[in-house]
Structure 1
Amino acid sequence: MPAPRTGPPRGFVQALFSAVAPTYDLLNTVLSFGLHHLWRRRAADLACLTPGDIALDVCTGTGDFALELCRRVGPQGAVVGVDFCEPMLQVGLRKHQMRPGANRCAPILVLADAMQLPFPDNQFSAATVGFGVRNVEDIQRAFAELARVVRPGGKVVCLELARPRGKLFRALYAVYFKGVLPWIGKLIHGRRESYAYLPESLARFPERDELAAIMRRAGLADVSVLDLTAGIVAVHSGRVP
């Protein structure tokens, strides 16, 4: 059996995202040239949600992916966003409270760990994780938890950074990701170290096929991979049997 793929220690990730929480949304937009909104929309499509569904987003951060799911389930549905970093959730809560309109779906934000979800089995119509599974200590355990809480037939969707497939574009991407991105982070956030972690985390992260295999070992079926924007991000999706 393959050895479990592990991420950074829990305490390190909590401290890192607590520090960047106030500027996280701005930096996401700047560093991705605004494309992260498009990526989340495409990934949310693969969750196959319909009005009235109940959806879960783990590693929700400030709740952008949860908001995307809300647009699909509508006011008659519900979305729960889970994260173990309280400052990120606080930013998300303030952001959601500023949204206009009373007759709408508003995410329910919960402080909890993706590896130990506080929900019963078969609770949700679908589950998503966006740009978060790289930061989980035990990737397979997190996917197994998602498979546990999603109803049979429901989808589990993972949107994550990836290494471009083409050699030339991969080289150019590496220059931006390792050389430019941390300095943009320093300019906006004030600390280069916080965003130097991003390329380090991607270097440790499983390649597409290995991540798909991890999802299968976690109990998901019909796992597929969709590349977006020349392969700088990938969407993995699987079905709960």
Structure 2
Amino acid sequence: MMDAKSKERHVHEVFERIAPKYDLMNDIISFRRHKAWRRFTMRKMDIQPGQSSLDLCCGTCDWTIALAKESKGGRTVGLDFSRNMLEIGQAKVDKLGYSNQIELVQGNAMELPFEDNSFDFVTIGFGLRNIPDIVKTLKEMKRVVKPGGKIVCLDMSKPTWQPFKSIYYFYFERVMPLFGKWFVKSYEQYRWLPESLASFPDLQALAELFRETGMRNVKAYPFFGGVAALHMGTKGNEIV
């Protein structure tokens, strides 16, 4: 098993490499369901005009742009450690006319360059399982969200019932890396995704980490038999 520094370096190399085909592969490997999961998440978030958001591991910025659109002018920041991902995201932001509202930052989700109590929402989409220290990241998300604000994680998860569990793991571990090889010539990079899920907490364990970090009213919603999940928690009114 890789240590934290090795994992951080490896993940960075993976995402720098797959950035140009990242959106295409997301559609292929999730059968486009990731977009429906994000729409469900946005409904649960219930963003109001003028509210601010920080989108961690923002990648090519699809969720960042959706947050900006929903907030109707609210401050929106996207953070990612991959320069290649951010360049693709910036092109989208510019094309859609959100450059005055959305700020993109290259940075580390475990050491956020923002003041305490800065955002109404802090989100992370399909990125938490790639970060070496999940608890440290959750604490940072809680630190920078405002009292009463929401911490939101949308990510892959682990089905628990058979035979679907076996079918899913066969697809995730054997078939999906082949898709990477066939469609984007990145077999080794897409082998990382099942590896990243192996040590990632399941639905209930991640919900418990939210609670242990001090979040309140924690809710977890599984998708499609548990292949993905939404976790949401609220920061209390204490001042960090």
TM-score (normalizing by structure 1): 0.92
Alignment of 1:179-198 (within 5 A): 179-198=174-193
Q: CA deviation at 1:190?
A: 0.7
User: Counterpart of 1:45 in structure 2: which amino acid?
Assistant: R
Match of 1:201 in 2: 196
Match of 1:127 in 2: 122
Correspondent of 2:90 among 89, 93, 107: 93
Alignment of 1:76-155 (within 5 A): 76-99=73-96, 106-155=101-150
Is 2:205 the partner of 1:210?
yes
Q: CA deviation at 1:133?
A: 0.3
Q: Secondary structure at the match of 2:217?
A: strand
Within 1, Cα distance between the matches of 2:101 and 2:35?
18
Q: Secondary structure at the match of 2:214?
A: coil
Tell me if structure 2 keeps the 8 A contact 1:216–1:223. yes
User: Counterpart of 1:81 in structure 2: which amino acid?
Assistant: G
Instruction: Extract structure 1 runs of 4+ deviating beyond 4 A.
Output: none
Tell me if structure 2 keeps the 8 A contact 1:71–1:105. no
Relative to structure 2, which stretch is displaced further, 217-226 or 178-187? 217-226
Correspondent of 2:57 among 51, 56, 59: 59
Match of 1:3 in 2: none
The runs of 5 or more residues in structure 2 that have no matched partner are none
Superposition RMSD on alpha carbons, in Å?
A: 1.7
Match of 1:236 in 2: 231
Match of 1:159 in 2: 154
Within 1, Cα distance between the matches of 2:147 and 2:6?
31
Tell me if structure 2 keeps the 8 A contact 1:59–1:130. yes
Correspondent of 2:23 among 13, 22, 25: 25
User: Counterpart of 1:60 in structure 2: which amino acid?
Assistant: C
Tell me if structure 2 keeps the 8 A contact 1:96–1:106. no
Q: CA deviation at 1:34?
A: 1.1
Relative contact order (alpha carbons < 8 A, sep ≥ 6): 1 or 2 greater? Answer: 1
Is 2:219 the partner of 1:224?
yes
User: Counterpart of 1:137 in structure 2: which amino acid?
Assistant: P
Tell me if structure 1 keeps the 8 A contact 2:53–2:77. yes
Relative to structure 2, which stretch is displaced further, 42-51 or 15-24? 42-51
How many residues are treated as equivalent by the alignment? 233
The runs of 5 or more residues in structure 1 that have no matched partner are 1-5
Q: Secondary structure at the match of 2:78?
A: strand
Q: Secondary structure at the match of 1:119?
A: coil
Distance 1:94 1:11, change over 3 A: same
Within 1, Cα distance between the matches of 2:66 and 2:153?
14
Within 2, Cα distance between the matches of 1:8 and 1:69?
32
